[in-house]
Structure 1
Amino acid sequence: MTKSTLALCVVILWPAMALAAPTEVSENQQAVVALAEAAAIHPPSTQTLRGVVDSIDERNDTIRIRLSPDRTEPFKVQDGLLFNAVRFGDPVAFSVQDISGFRTIVGLSKE
């Protein structure tokens, strides 16, 4: 069971548990509270980078960006409309998050 499913179950079942349980805080309620806190969804960390567009690969949903003279990295694209916004050689500032194990561009602007 995923954390989000567990959190949803806790949110739905919590009022019924509160009505059915005595006013004392039981061990079961403490366990449910602990699970709800553990299942809280934390937004992924965002990293802001700058570079120059090196290549665009729409077929694989990636943009390769030159971060420094000796370092080029491919990044997945969250929104396919970004392919229309940039061209080879454009200087860009972009936000990256780890989504499903891939460094993914979630925001991009030309400089």
Structure 2
Amino acid sequence: MQKRILSLILAFTIASITVPARALTHDELVAKLQAGSDANAAAVLTPAARTLRGVVDRVDERNDTLLIRLAAGRTEPFKVQDGLIFNAVRFGDPVEISVQTISGFPTIVGLTKQ
């Protein structure tokens, strides 16, 4: 009888244990958002963009980067999300850029010539 009670308790305990769901990968989260199943997750997925102004100092298509001269002569490299930006800018163009950190790199997600 005690064996039967212990096996019932054990079975009940095992049945009541919940296994935590695994975390979604980035691609799964994007697919879920595109399907419209979780509108609140968009705020988690999209990091805030910052807007900067500067002058194009160098265009480096080979490495998908633009070198932008910002305030006080400080020059910073930025990855380019859309390669078509290279057709729109040249050395010396004053620009306003929207930058987000994507995969650890500051990346231009929007550009307007001034």
The TM-score, its normalising length taken from structure 2, stands at: 0.64
Distance (Å, rounded) in 2 between the aligned partners of 1:90 and 1:69: 17
Shift of 1:55: 0.1
Amino acid at match of 1:83: F
Q: Tell me the secondary structure at the aligned position of residue 84 of structure 1.
A: helix
1:103 aligns with 2:96: no
Amino acid at match of 2:75: T
**1:53 counterpart residue number:** 56
* Structure 2: 5+ residue stretches without partners: 1-22
**1:66 counterpart residue number:** 69
Distance (Å, rounded) in 1 between the aligned partners of 2:42 and 2:91: 37
**1:88 counterpart residue number:** 91
Distance (Å, rounded) in 1 between the aligned partners of 2:79 and 2:99: 9
Structure showing greater radius of gyration is 2
CA deviations on 1:8-62 (whole Å, 9 max, x unpaired) are: 5xx9xxxxxxxxxxxxxxxxxxxxxxxx8xx934221110000000001001000
Q: CA RMSD in A?
A: 2.6
Amino acid at match of 1:2: L
**1:2 counterpart residue number:** 24
Amino acid at match of 1:100: S
Q: Percent identity?
A: 65
CA deviations on 1:54-108 (whole Å, 9 max, x unpaired) are: 0010010000000024300000000000000000000001100011111000000
**2:18 counterpart residue number:** none
The TM-score, its normalising length taken from structure 1, stands at: 0.66
